[in-house]
Amino acid sequence: MEAATVSRRSTPRAGLRLPGVGVGRGLVVLYLSILVLLPLAALTDQSLSQGLGHFWEQVTQPQALRSLKLTLIASTIVVLINATFGTIIAWLLVRDQFPGKSVVNAVIDLPFALPTIVASLILIQLWGSKSPVGINIALTQTAVVVALLFVTLPFVVRAVQPLLIEMDREMEEAAASLGAGGWTIFRRVIFPNLLPGIGAGIALAFARALGEFGSVLLFAGGLPDTQVSSVFIRQQIESGNDTGAAAVSVVLLLASLLCLAIVGLIQTWSGRHERSGGQIVPMPIDKDEH
């Protein structure tokens, strides 16, 4: 996601030059081609193997459409909820002081570290038929939403946190001295500054939610009305419909690429923030403001 920064920053200058840059570049391209591009090419090839008409038929067959629709709607709900709570949590971690803050800060990355199938299993224990609090949402569409909330929580938090740390508090003080209240300061001063981070976090969380598989699998199951697209693809593979599975995969792939492109655009726009505005990978921030 640092395409812009990389190309701008890497203008030729002296520094470490490994021998055989050409060889190095060749190896990098080879590694990526064999491991990443070749499989994706095979996927695209298979999806179109029986023509565009068949591709379209596979993508628009009722159950495929139903799963795509559920995936899109659930992902949208999830990123909106996590954008809100993610911003609140980031604010607490940067601006507030409370005991156990560093623990909370570390725990935010739990969904990145915990295997998705384990996430599914632990969610079904808490919110399933043996729920100790008596709430059973397993095998429903709500379970899809909860599972996706779990796995995408860190994205907005980690994208907003560095922006809040860098933010100049003088602006807020100026607004306050001019008589702005808390809500006005948030809406007119803080929020616009955080927007690139929130936007990038949303796009990354959305990409993750679109493709999520493990955490949904046991908790929401593969019933016709709880089947997200990744689970649908899995079932198509098992029933031998490779072309159908590949066609829906290509649709998911394109949607993910769109999300990545949006993150790239946001980062280009917000420019100078090199380590902020949507880390794809977790970056815990421990810096205290005081």
Partner 1 sequence: MAASSAPSRWGLRILGLGYVAILLLAPLVLIFYKTFEEGISPPLEAITSPDGLHALKLTLIMVAIAVPLNTVFGIGCALLLVRHRMRGSAIIDAIINLPFAISPVVIGLSLFLLYGTTGWFEPGLSEAGIKVLFSVPGMVLASIFVSLPFVVRETVPVLQEIGTEQEQAAQTLGANAWQTFWRVTLPAIRWGVAYGVVLTTARVLGEFGAVSVVSGSISGQTQTLPLFVAKQYENFNLPGAFGASVLLALLALSTLLAMNFLKRKEDA
Q: Which of residues 19-78 bind partner 1 (CB under 8 A)?
A: 19, 21, 24-25, 27-29, 31-32, 35-40, 42-43, 45-46
Our CB check for partner 1 shows the closer of 34 and 65 to be 34
Residue of the chain from 138, 160, 207, 220 that contacts partner 1 (CB under 8 A) = 207
Asked if 92 is part of the footprint of partner 1 (rule: CB under 8 A), the reply reads: yes
Asked if 174 is part of the footprint of partner 1 (rule: CB under 8 A), the reply reads: no
**Burial of residue 175, with CB atoms counted within 10 A of its CB: 0-12 exposed, 13-18 middle, 19 or more buried:** middle
**DSSP line for 171-192:** HHHHHHHTT--HHHHIIIIIHH
* Tokens (6 digits) for 76: 């949208």
Our CB check for partner 1 shows the closer of 65 and 261 to be 261
**DSSP line for 58-127:** HHHSHHHHHHHHHHHHHHHHHHHHHHHHHHHHHHHHHH---TTHHHHHHHTTHHHHS-HHHHHHHHHHHH
**Backbone angles phi and psi of 222, in degrees to 5:** -115, 30
Distance, in Å, from the CA atom of 204 to the CA atom of 283, rounded to the nearest integer, reads: 14
Residue of the chain from 65, 73, 80, 107 that contacts partner 1 (CB under 8 A) = 107
Residue of the chain from 59, 214, 222, 265 that contacts partner 1 (CB under 8 A) = 214
State which of positions 134-173 bind partner 1 (CB under 8 A): 146, 149-150, 153, 172
Residue of the chain from 65, 73, 117, 223 that contacts partner 1 (CB under 8 A) = 117
Residue of the chain from 53, 62, 98, 179 that contacts partner 1 (CB under 8 A) = 98
Distance, in Å, from the CA atom of 145 to the CA atom of 154, rounded to the nearest integer, reads: 15
13 in helix, strand or coil? Answer: coil
Residue of the chain from 61, 63, 125, 142 that contacts partner 1 (CB under 8 A) = 125
State which of positions 244-273 bind partner 1 (CB under 8 A): 245-246, 249, 252-253, 256-257, 259-260, 264
State which of positions 215-244 bind partner 1 (CB under 8 A): 217-218, 229-231, 233-234, 237, 242
* Tokens (6 digits) for 231: 């689970």
Our CB check for partner 1 shows the closer of 63 and 112 to be 112
